[in-house]
Chain A
Amino acid sequence: MQALYAQLLVGLINGSFYALLSLGLAVIFGMLNIINFAHGALYMMGAFCAYFLLNLTGIGYWWALLVAPIVVGIFGMILERTMLQWLAGLDHLYGLLLTFGIALIVQGVFQNYFGSSGLPYAIPDYPQIGEWRGLQGGMNLGFMFLPVYRGWVVIFSLVVCIATWYLIEKTRLGAYLRAATENPTLVRAFGINVPRMITLTYGLGVGLAALAGVLSAPINQVRPLMGADLIIVVFAVVVIGGMGSIMGSIITGFALGVIEGLTKYFYPEASNTVVFVLMVLVLLVKPTGLTGRAA
């Protein structure tokens, strides 16, 4: 039973990354109509950013959670301003191809300087309050031992996901955003700077990816290709969920992580492929995906 709970936890953690990444993809797709193939590379940049902050400037994990997404988000906004915006009005596929090229460049550069092996990033041991040592150590829940950091990742990413959902679905800014997705010309006529909004949206989506990168740095080592294979699983998650709604991508992300974890416990051979198999099954039954609108 211990092993089952452990795999469930691993599944929830992977699910947090899937949710954060597919949420960012959904936000970007909604406004820019681009499948952001560079998302995995930007996730990796988030992790590296945290690594640099710690090792070059001594800025630790807690500030990295804030700084890394901003830095990578600004990088993303520069990408949007210098390249992606020129693709507006062209076939969607060009956006995919361009971001694929960007991913190759970014990953190639990092591989040149850091090889393919992982760099360690320690779990923070502060603040120290009473017997708490930051996020290190663990606690006994009675039925299982829970490493604090892992529990933190799940809860924190859940909070971020819900905050993003609230921002887009419930606030005025989100309403502008959704309106601009439907009819940019009309929203512009109301005096709203749609191009700036698009840039900021891309920054937001990229920031979410970078945040996932920082969260994952202490668990999975910091590696140039850490996002490359993950992003394809996230694409499968997106196909299953259908990218129709923000909430849909959050729920699908977590659910698939858990399903993957359960597979690892009951039938480990299939754990790498279960998400893809599920994608096939979902497509056969419901070609638009679970929460999707027609493409």
Chain B
Amino acid sequence: MSALTDDTLPLTPRAMRDEMIVFAAMAVLLGLVPLTGIYPFFVMQALCFALLACAFNLLIGYGGLLSFGHAMFLGTAGYCTAHALKVWGLSPELGILVGVAGAAALSVVTGFISIRRQGIYFSMITLALSQLLYFIYLQAPFTHGEDGIQGIPQGYLFGIFNLARPTVLYYVVLAGFLGGFLLIYRTINSPFGEVLKAIRENEPRAISLGYKTDQYKLLAFILSGTLAGFAGSLKVFVAQNASLTDVHWTMSGEIVLMTLVGGLGTIFGPVVGAFVIIAMQQYLAGFGQWVTVIQGVIFVACVLTFRRGVIGEIAHYLRRSL
């Protein structure tokens, strides 16, 4: 049984240098966006999803765990942050903290349950758990059911940065994305990340080497869920609402699609994938339901012919780690 990401290269100084160069280029390019004419709302949204996809990729690309319910962290953090801002009137930084804490707590509970099964069963459990949460949010009073929480005040971050101004908000979101990205990058290249890769490649062997693999997987799940929650909190400031679409399982499917298109288990793949999918939704909106069909076709095409994804194919061609 071949692994999902079968040709990742070992981490050498050259690979690390490559990755840092690409990271710097990405940071500079994204930093220049407000100077160009690109619609900032679109890029901010894509950045939130890019962070989400990166968090998801930490789990599947490096732990071999396909979570099909990652939307639950996005949605939960979104609801927590939105509620804290609107009802409790907290400041943005505290709102984000509440959202991230909510997602973290959720990931502890769901992780504890879901890592008890492996492979596709794990995927099905995460999917079912997120659907459970969907129904809870549908009925719970504080989420306002189908209407969602709307008209969320953006406020002043740390009392200084006015998040109602698009440019300020853009750089805050960008900073959040880059911070999250670096955290994931650091995790992947830590001893913890190495153990995670070992579990992905051959779990029985990792166990026989004395690693308590369940603990590693749980920790990866919590980290991934928490960071996905962070993306959800940031998204509240961009979209100014929190709604059921963010918790529904079709959203989880989109996260998987983003990562698959960009490249499972590549560092920059999820970012590219998120931008591709969000751009597609933005510019193909006129096609209505055909967008779903197109997404399905991309799914099928990726799995059948293009399993490494955009970045994975480039990295494979250049024989570099990206």
Residues of A within 8 A of B (CB): 35, 83, 86-87, 89-94, 96-98, 100-109, 111-112, 229, 232-233, 235-236, 238-239, 269, 272-273, 276-277, 279-280, 283-284, 287-288, 295
Contacts and interface: CB of A to CB of B under 8 A. Distances in A.
A91 B298 CA distance: 19
Given A35-B123, A104-B253, A295-B119, A236 B128 contact: yes
B299 to A, nearest CB: 3
Nearest to B124: A235
A283 B307 CA distance: 32
A239 B135 contact: no
Contacts of A93: 4, 60, 66, 119-120, 123
Given A89-B1, A89-B2, A101 B298 contact: yes
Contacts of B288: 112
11 contacts: A83-B300, A93-B120, A94-B4, A104-B293, A111-B292, A229-B131, A232-B128, A232-B249, A235-B127, A236-B128, A287-B116
Contact of B297 (A86, A105, A238, A283): A105
Nearest to B301: A101
Most interface-central of A111, A273, A284 (chain B CB within 10 A): A273
Given A86-B304, A93-B4, A280 B113 contact: yes
Nearest to B138: A272
B253 to A, nearest CB: 6
B135 A273 contact: yes
B118 A109 contact: no
Looking at chain B's contact residues, the main secondary structure is helix
Nearest to A275: B128
B314 interface: no
Contacts of A98: 299-300, 303-304
Contacts of B293: 104-105, 108-109, 112
Contacts of B256: 97, 100
Nearest to B110: A280
A98 B293 CA distance: 13
Interface residues of B, number: 47
B131 A232 contact: yes
Given A98-B299, A101-B296, A108 B290 contact: yes
A239 B117 contact: yes
Contacts of A92: 1, 119-120
B298 A279 contact: no
B26 interface: no
B173 to A, nearest CB: 29
B300 A273 contact: no
Contacts of B3: 91
A248 B48 CA distance: 43
A103 to B, nearest CB: 7
B304 A91 contact: no
Most interface-central of B4, B119, B296 (chain A CB within 10 A): B296
Contact of B128 (A35, A279, A287): A279
Contact of B129 (A96, A103, A280): A280
B190 interface: no
Looking at chain A's contact residues, the main secondary structure is helix
A163 B161 CA distance: 68
Most interface-central of B66, B117, B138 (chain A CB within 10 A): B117
A235 B124 CA distance: 6
A157 B245 CA distance: 35
Contacts of B21: none
B282 interface: no
B289 interface: yes
A108 B303 contact: no
B183 interface: no
B120 A283 contact: no
Interface string B106-138: 000000011011111101110111011001101
Nearest to A280: B113
Closest 7 CB pairs of A and B: A101-B299, A104-B296, A108-B292, A105-B296, A276-B132, A108-B293, A287-B116
A233 B124 CA distance: 10
Contacts of B117: 239, 283, 287-288, 295
B295 interface: yes
B139 interface: yes
Interface in B237-276: 249, 253, 256, 260
A108 B298 contact: no
Contacts of A107: 292
Nearest to A116: B289
Given A101-B297, A235-B124, A283-B125, A111 B289 contact: yes
B174 to A, nearest CB: 30
B244 to A, nearest CB: 13
A90 to B, nearest CB: 6
Contacts of A35: 120, 123-124
Nearest to B5: A91
A239 B66 contact: no
A287 B304 CA distance: 32
Contacts of A283: 113-114, 116-117, 125
Nearest to B60: A93
Contacts of A284: 113, 116
A136 to B, nearest CB: 34
A108 B128 contact: no
Contacts of A94: 4, 303, 307
A84 B26 CA distance: 37
B159 to A, nearest CB: 41
Contacts of B139: 269, 272
B57 to A, nearest CB: 13
